[in-house]
Structure 1
């Protein structure tokens, strides 16, 4: 197996909890010929997902709240219904994404150092973190043993043994339900729908210089992801594929803990659909053009309500030159920060100009997992919300645009959502 393709999935995160019988004096069901039912032994996790808010089920008018200024006809007004979900209050921050990077880095290092494993599955080792001590990166003897993770000698500055970002590779595994659900695939072995992929996950910090020609942005390239002053700022330089890798890791990380504690595993985290994103951004104000519910981008005192490009380019007028903290400005009525401005946000949806004309009115979505060999048109993913470098038009709830899934930009971030039961027993309010 290639050294860069290191498996970093936690072993033992069971998806299906064993059932047990709770009736009867000794845990057995009464033998009376009646159906009593068998409860799942797993407990319901009572905690609300950290840093997330509940978005209730509802119906709204998806699309322009006023005239189509660009006459593009890519977002026709349409009434749709959305089931409830939980969404991150803010865009994913540098600190949060750094936890993902460090976990992956430490997993790779643990394998190189000979950390104990539970067992091999399909020829690959799964790290058992219950038996693996924390790696001491300040220990020179440890660094000497991790030479394959260190930048080559010709690439070192003053001889520093820095970690090579190219070696921080996360391996994704998931079951493609959409493909398995197709009628023509009925009866085909489950293994045919297990998707495996490897993604280099370190953010592209050079986007700050690459995105803007003849502009001095070197300080941002050097410090934005690394310096603690930017820890609560939204992560950027992350492609759509990297954002999905983060969602996969967040799911594995959470469910491994829940199963270990005897709780039922939860749904997977994922990038919101385009419809989910717009519904959440509107905050229950169906016909308003902006997340804050008003018709304008300034309040009555003349203060700007988001981080974007005011006027003809007075960038600092809104309080931020580039990005600002992920929890800056007032949240919308659902408690979500910066659904307009700061950074544009990846959604999970494929960008297709005529999508609104054929999508279902119940949880509408259109997805396509483009291959590297696919034409660029098939790699377009919907962006929403506008960014710190965009004009006010892109801040509107209904404005659609796109970027290619393998691209990373200094003005694109993301937030995650998760489907958790919001009704019946175990409701988290």
Structure 2
């Protein structure tokens, strides 16, 4: 009954969303021309857009905070070198409620095996390194075979994944979420019709749809042609006329970015976003005044609960001392020896679980010891490498796709929009995009003092990525949200996992109800007669 209720509620919400996305007629306040009408050129505007998070995400209302302001002294390490305290503003965004679990990752592997059954390299490259459990003087061999796949650990955070694997998972998740939205709402062929019923798959060749795996990038460039029963009507007069005899899909089009239906890409959070979300100062703030700072994702200076019903219980999964991973038998202090389920303990004031302990978490940034002395005060981030879709046919604008039906990305050819003459001159000269990269395309070394990059011996380079949060194998000092360490982006360990984030578009305020607002006035309607 519970599953029936969930699906029924989900179908209702999808129907409401579909209705809300249907554009209504409006008039331009600058030209007087009507929107969403074929006779006026068919310019379509969704003036009923309502944003919302993708599956698994919660809303994080942004704001100002002191980056590294919660830092505590670490023996043998000066705070000045640990991170630079600086007032910083973070935009509102979405973040995963929990860490990505083993089941989440097995879903990824299953999709690869189903859609690319003979591509053994693809499957192998996405396998976590389960050998991270092996240690010369520990008997951890059972975890090598069991931790990822056995149902006893299905809700535990995936480990043994590199930063690069986490990035690829985010891209895959983006495509699956957007495909679900399009198919379940009828903009594309439904999963039921795509895969058939009673075990009989539908014939894709008779329904005029692409058989390649769905990719958001290919779909937005018009290179994944699949229209469902609720496909959006194309109001462009030229396209409508050309499509009159084009079959079932005549007069319809793919969903566009302007329709506001597709979700933004899932990605790793920036270091600033992660630290802001972990602190959860929203619970300690009133009228822009923070009345109590935090050194952990919870309030107070201790690591155990002060509530009467749970007094003394440890609030996170970490190592209390060099040898105490879980406490005394019969009275386990944090209920875990290694990792624990991703929904363990209490969420912080943003509703996020395990922002301290359990596993460290990859963030997007390239590591530099003194990043925030130079980084911008608004959405600070180090690691920009600007890319563009590789154009396969300049005349039609079609982009080159790889064997997984995803756009091929190349380094940005220019820091600004090139003029048409510049683009044509480069094309006529046969200069490939990769040969026209400017220094501006890679900002990872921007404003770096030479001493930060080079020396007689250094482990820091442009592939050193930040991880944060502390883990089951760390002591309490690493639970502080300001704590930061680094590892090479192609390496993995048994105590590093990750969670995803997503950019929130539009106004930063999430809920305006009950808050003072300036009244917005609508434009006066234009009347031509």
Q: TM-score, normalised by structure 1?
A: 0.68
- What is the CA–CA distance in structure 1 between the aligned matches of 2:34 and 2:373, rounded to whole Å? 47
- What is the CA–CA distance in structure 2 between the aligned matches of 1:424 and 1:56, rounded to whole Å? 7
- What is the CA–CA distance in structure 1 between the aligned matches of 2:103 and 2:123, rounded to whole Å? 17
Moved more, 44-53 or 342-351: 44-53
- What is the CA–CA distance in structure 2 between the aligned matches of 1:399 and 1:233, rounded to whole Å? 23
- What is the CA–CA distance in structure 1 between the aligned matches of 2:317 and 2:23, rounded to whole Å? 55
Q: Deviations along 1:297-345, whole A, 9 cap, x unmatched?
A: 1233332111111123211122110000001011101110100000000
- 1:279 and 2:289 matched: no
CA gap of 1:315–1:258, structure 2 versus 1, over 3 A, is same
Q: Deviations along 1:72-130, whole A, 9 cap, x unmatched?
A: 52312111111111111110001111111111111112xx5xxxxxxxxxxxxxxxxxx
Matches for 1:321-400 after TM superposition, within 5 Å: 321-367=337-383, 377-400=461-484
1:71 pairs with one of 72, 78, 101: 78
Give the structure 1 partner of residue 65 of structure 2: 60
Moved more, 377-386 or 71-80: 71-80
CA gap of 1:406–1:336, structure 2 versus 1, over 3 A, is same
- 1:235 and 2:158 matched: yes
Give, in angstroms, the shift of residue 258 of structure 1: 2.9
- 1:205 and 2:130 matched: yes
- What is the CA–CA distance in structure 2 between the aligned matches of 1:21 and 1:303, rounded to whole Å? 53
1:168 pairs with one of 123, 138, 152: 123
- What is the CA–CA distance in structure 1 between the aligned matches of 2:278 and 2:362, rounded to whole Å? 14
Task: Return the index of the structure with the highest Cα Rg.
Answer: 2
- What is the CA–CA distance in structure 2 between the aligned matches of 1:282 and 1:232, rounded to whole Å? 24
Give, in angstroms, the shift of residue 223 of structure 1: 0.3
CA gap of 1:297–1:99, structure 2 versus 1, over 3 A, is same
- Structure 2 residue ranges without an equivalent (≥5): 1-20, 36-42, 188-259, 285-289, 328-333, 386-441, 445-458, 514-529
Structure 2 counterpart SS, 1:79: strand
Give, in angstroms, the shift of residue 421 of structure 1: 3.4
CA gap of 1:225–1:422, structure 2 versus 1, over 3 A, is farther
- What is the CA–CA distance in structure 2 between the aligned matches of 1:96 and 1:42, rounded to whole Å? 35
- What is the CA–CA distance in structure 1 between the aligned matches of 2:460 and 2:136, rounded to whole Å? 24
Structure 2 counterpart SS, 1:290: coil
- What is the CA–CA distance in structure 2 between the aligned matches of 1:97 and 1:427, rounded to whole Å? 33
Q: Deviations along 1:138-177, whole A, 9 cap, x unmatched?
A: xxxxxxxxxx75xxxxxxxxxxxxxxxx5516xxxxxxxx
- What is the CA–CA distance in structure 2 between the aligned matches of 1:21 and 1:220, rounded to whole Å? 53
Structure 2 counterpart SS, 1:403: strand
- What is the CA–CA distance in structure 1 between the aligned matches of 2:366 and 2:482, rounded to whole Å? 16
Matches for 1:85-100 after TM superposition, within 5 Å: 85-100=93-108
- What is the CA–CA distance in structure 1 between the aligned matches of 2:512 and 2:144, rounded to whole Å? 41
- Structure 1 residue ranges without an equivalent (≥5): 1-18, 113-147, 150-165, 170-199
Give, in angstroms, the shift of residue 365 of structure 1: 0.5
CA gap of 1:85–1:368, structure 2 versus 1, over 3 A, is closer
Contact 1:289 1:295 in 2 (8 A): yes
Structure 1 counterpart SS, 2:89: strand
- What is the CA–CA distance in structure 2 between the aligned matches of 1:225 and 1:241, rounded to whole Å? 18
Matches for 1:145-164 after TM superposition, within 5 Å: 149=120
1:102 pairs with one of 105, 110, 115: 110
Give the structure 1 partner of residue 519 of structure 2: none
Give, in angstroms, the shift of residue 68 of structure 1: 3.7
Structure 2 counterpart SS, 1:222: helix
Structure 2 counterpart SS, 1:168: helix
Structure 2 counterpart SS, 1:381: strand
Task: Report how many aligned residue pairs link the two structures.
Answer: 319
Give, in angstroms, the shift of residue 390 of structure 1: 0.5
Q: Deviations along 1:377-412, whole A, 9 cap, x unmatched?
A: 221101100110011111001111111100011110
1:308 pairs with one of 318, 332, 343: 318
Q: Deviations along 1:243-295, whole A, 9 cap, x unmatched?
A: 00000001111222334434621211100000000000001157311001221
- What is the CA–CA distance in structure 2 between the aligned matches of 1:418 and 1:216, rounded to whole Å? 39
2:25 pairs with one of 20, 23, 26: 23
Structure 1 counterpart SS, 2:116: helix
CA gap of 1:47–1:358, structure 2 versus 1, over 3 A, is closer
Structure 1 counterpart SS, 2:82: coil
Give, in angstroms, the shift of residue 43 of structure 1: 7.3
2:299 pairs with one of 286, 293, 299: 293
Contact 2:375 2:381 in 1 (8 A): yes
- What is the CA–CA distance in structure 2 between the aligned matches of 1:42 and 1:422, rounded to whole Å? 13
Runs of 4 or more above 6 Å deviation: 424-429
Contact 2:61 2:509 in 1 (8 A): no
- C-alpha RMSD of matched pairs (Å): 3.1
CA gap of 1:213–1:43, structure 2 versus 1, over 3 A, is farther
Contact 2:89 2:377 in 1 (8 A): yes
Give the structure 1 partner of residue 491 of structure 2: 407
- What is the CA–CA distance in structure 1 between the aligned matches of 2:363 and 2:116, rounded to whole Å? 29
- What is the CA–CA distance in structure 2 between the aligned matches of 1:34 and 1:402, rounded to whole Å? 56
